[in-house]
Chains A and B, each alone.
Chain A
Amino acid sequence: MEEYIQNFSQHVIAALSDLPKEEIAKALDILQATYERDGRIYVFGNGGSLALATHWVSDFNKTVFSHHLDKHSRRFQAIRLPTTEEELTAWANDVGFDMVFAGPLHNYIQDSDTVIAISSSGNSPNVIKAVELARRYKIPVIGLSGFDGGGLDPLADAKIRIPSEKGQYELVESVHGVILHLMTKYFKDYFDYLAEQA
């Protein structure tokens, strides 16, 4: 049993010690720019990736500012898509499952916005559909993928890919979770620093 656990953790450590730093830095700069123009950040994915998206939205909208809730004139506007289960099922049932993200994104999208797409395979048709819409609007796309990056990686501006064998969802999703937390922590430190320096 211990050997199995050790093996798994070695895999995760190997992936963590080789993070795509330049692409993560690019993503942080994209988020900084989106904040400056008061744009919105839409985040989405399927299954575990949707759970990561929802968790991140909560952290980014609230935790980033928790130490100084009343000290900043503006907060982030991160939005998980779709925002309700009703929209998810309505789009899936009435139009098609490939439209569950692109459909709701079209309701909100504006020129100042940014998209974070999460897909381990990079090939989820519904994720790709939404990313294609973002590209038509020429807004930045942060792509979190794994395996060989699939169709998502070439479409993204910030190409955060965790290289791995096909099917290693647990590895890719775990590392995605770390990177999303890194984004939160970076801006938490930044806004804490601004408040403390003021």
Chain B
Amino acid sequence: MLIVRAPMRISFVGGGTDLPDFYRRSPGLVLSTAIDKYVYVAINRPPLVREVSARYSIGEMVDHPSMLKNDRIREALLDLGIHSNIEVATFTDVFVNAGLGSSSSFSVALMKGLYMSQGRRMDKREAAEAACRLEIDLVREPIGKQDQYASAFGGFNIYRFNPDESVDVIPLRLDYKRRLHFERHILVFFTGITRLASSVLAEQKAGTAKNFATLREMADSVLEFRDCLLRGEFEQLGRMLHATWMKKRTLASNVSNTALDAMYNAGMEHGAWGGKVLGAGGGGCILFIAPLEQHAAIREALRGVAHAHGLGRFNEVPVRFVQSGVEVLVNGDSTHRVIPS
């Protein structure tokens, strides 16, 4: 048995510029951090069970991986030539489709785990590249590359997506005090609305040409966001997020909706410096940067809005930033075997 986990992420600025329609014309830039919410993947190779088993929100057991409904597990197994005697199960800390990049965290953990099950080790970059290939080339999701890299690498980084498909990872070296102070100023709520990132991104992708100027401004704002973060100017960071969110809302008709707008406005009216809906938009989690003394009022206001809209699964998501990316928790290879000479 192998157990691998990969962190989810909070993306602050530059989302959307990691789509090929943008970065092939002009380099994309995204600033994000990994958080202490994880997707776990367990992989077992039972010697006496020939079937292929996948356990996630449902359970599947089939004779050949090509029969699996779960597209990521199906394509990964077919690609690696694993056709029998395998169980893949996943566990997650937060609902999927919450805007925390969990689908890609799953792909990163899955690829690292499947490679390991074949006795091959992957470093962070290899895991990120393998997950991108799985999701974009094999499963043909209309998504970008930021989530796979954020999950594989961990920590606070700027990702630069180059026209030649290469990705530069530029770390932000925040000392513990700056990191913890920033963490304390952040509020994250699960809105209770879930959506498929691909549904929002499909429309956004179709509009990339039309939105090119807006996306370019978003990419440009990444370096300014970094400088404010390194200086600890949290109020300014909030104001920047607010300005960016106002622009992002215009990228696709389904990036926001009435309930989301009501929640965002409630946060702003109760003293937040700024915020955004996380991930592609349309639902999932909402983030605010706010002065500490306003946190209680913002919590209360959002709870009220969620109640009024009948969003029973609304909840606060306490987050901490983490430095470690994808990691092997249990390596069943440690059971003894004689290595053939």
Chain A residues within 8 Å of B, Cβ to Cβ: 22, 25-26, 29, 32-34, 36-37, 110-112, 136-138, 186, 189-190, 193-194, 197
Contact = CB atoms under 8 A, between A and B. Distances in A.
User: How many B residues are at the interface, by size bracket?
Assistant: 20 to 34
16 contacts: A29-B155, A32-B323, A33-B154, A34-B324, A36-B322, A37-B327, A110-B334, A111-B121, A111-B328, A112-B327, A112-B329, A136-B121, A137-B121, A186-B176, A190-B176, A193-B177
A25 B156 CA distance: 13
B174 to A, nearest CB: 9
A189 B176 contact: yes
Interface in B282-341: 322-325, 327-329, 331, 334
Nearest to B120: A138
Q: What are the 7 tightest A-B residue pairs by CB atom distance, in nearest-first order?
A: A33-B324, A111-B328, A25-B173, A33-B323, A190-B176, A36-B324, A32-B323
Contacts of A33: 154-155, 322-325
A26 B323 contact: no
Contacts of B334: 110
A189 B177 CA distance: 9
A32 B116 CA distance: 24
Interface in B261-297: none
B323 A29 contact: yes
Contacts of A22: 173
A37 B324 contact: yes
B122 interface: yes
Contacts of B121: 111, 136-138
Nearest to A197: B180
A136 B155 CA distance: 23
B327 A138 contact: no
A111 B331 contact: yes
Contacts of A193: 176-177, 180
B123 interface: yes
Contact of B327 (A25, A26, A29, A111): A111
B171 interface: yes
Nearest to A38: B329
A76 to B, nearest CB: 14
A36 B329 CA distance: 11
B176 A36 contact: no
Given A111-B327, A138-B121, A138-B123, A26 B155 contact: no
Interface string B164-176: 0000000101011
A117 B327 CA distance: 22
Given A33-B155, A37-B327, A111-B116, 5 more contacts: A33-B325, A36-B322, A36-B323, A111-B121, A186-B176
A135 to B, nearest CB: 9
A188 to B, nearest CB: 11
A82 B234 CA distance: 47
A32 B320 CA distance: 13
Contacts of A197: 180
Nearest to A194: B180
Q: Which of A29, A34, A186 has the most CB of B within 10 A?
A: A29
Q: Which of A22, A32, A111, A137 has the most CB of B within 10 A?
A: A111
A191 B261 CA distance: 40
Nearest to B154: A33
A112 B323 CA distance: 13
A74 to B, nearest CB: 13
Contacts of A29: 155, 171, 173, 323
Contacts of B177: 193
A110 B331 contact: yes
Contacts of A37: 324, 327, 329
Contacts of A112: 327-329
Nearest to A110: B331
A124 B159 CA distance: 36
Interface in B114-141: 116, 121-123
Contact of B122 (A26, A138, A190): A138
B181 to A, nearest CB: 10
B303 to A, nearest CB: 26
Q: Which of B122, B123, B331 has the most CB of A within 10 A?
A: B123
Interface in B166-216: 171, 173, 175-177, 180
B31 to A, nearest CB: 16
Contacts of B123: 138
A36 B324 CA distance: 7
Contacts of A36: 322-324
Nearest to A137: B121
Contacts of A138: 121-123
A110 B333 CA distance: 11
